[in-house]
Amino acid sequence: MISQMRKLSTRIVLFHQNAASSIGVIHTDLKTADILNETGPITAGELSKITGLTTGTVTALLDRLEDVGFITRQKDPRDGRRVIIVPNLERQKSYHTLYEPLSQHTQKLCSSYTQQELEVIHSFLTQMTGVFELANEQIGSYSRDQE
């Protein structure tokens, strides 16, 4: 099971790497855009904490996302000294065609399972998301301990 999950994980990374490359960014940028879509507008510092990336790396990443129109930087309406990062969902929709084949294949695969089986799969994937979030936190702790 673990070896198959590693294989799946690698294929997912490769897919996102190829998709990102086709629009002129790197896969970390593309996945960060997904994070911003989940969180909504946040500061670069908050994004740095979520991703575990340094603030310098986040700045370069945001520059690339801004260049392709995936985000805008705006003054925080509550505190004009701060800048918030706002996802541009309309611009991102223009790239959804990259994901259409994946979506179609996924829907076809899901249709081969019963509703009960899909509920088990959904539960497993939800729990695995938590496992990865915990593992990411632990990696962050490990790297800080090594400094």
Residue 143 predicted with pLDDT over 60: no
Per the structure, the count of domains in the chain is: 1
Residue 141 predicted with pLDDT over 90: no
Q: Are 39 and 50 in contact (CB under 8 A)?
A: yes
Confidence of residue 145 (pLDDT cuts 50, 70, 90): low
Any domain includes 33:
yes
What residues make up the domain containing 107?
2-112
Any domain includes 120:
no
**Residue 67, pLDDT score:** 93
Could you give the CA distance from residue 147 to residue 136 in angstroms, rounded to a whole number?
Answer: 17
| SS3 (DSSP) at 41 | coil
Any domain includes 74:
yes
- Domain of 91: which CATH number? 1.10.10.10
pLDDT digits (tens, 9 = 90+) for 2-33: 899 999 999 999 999 999 998 889 999 989 99
Write out the two tokens for 66: 């801004």
Q: Are 65 and 25 in contact (CB under 8 A)?
A: yes
Average pLDDT for the chain: 89
pLDDT digits (tens, 9 = 90+) for 37-52: 999 999 999 999 888 8
Of 15-24, 48-57, 100-109, 131-140, which range is least confident?
131-140
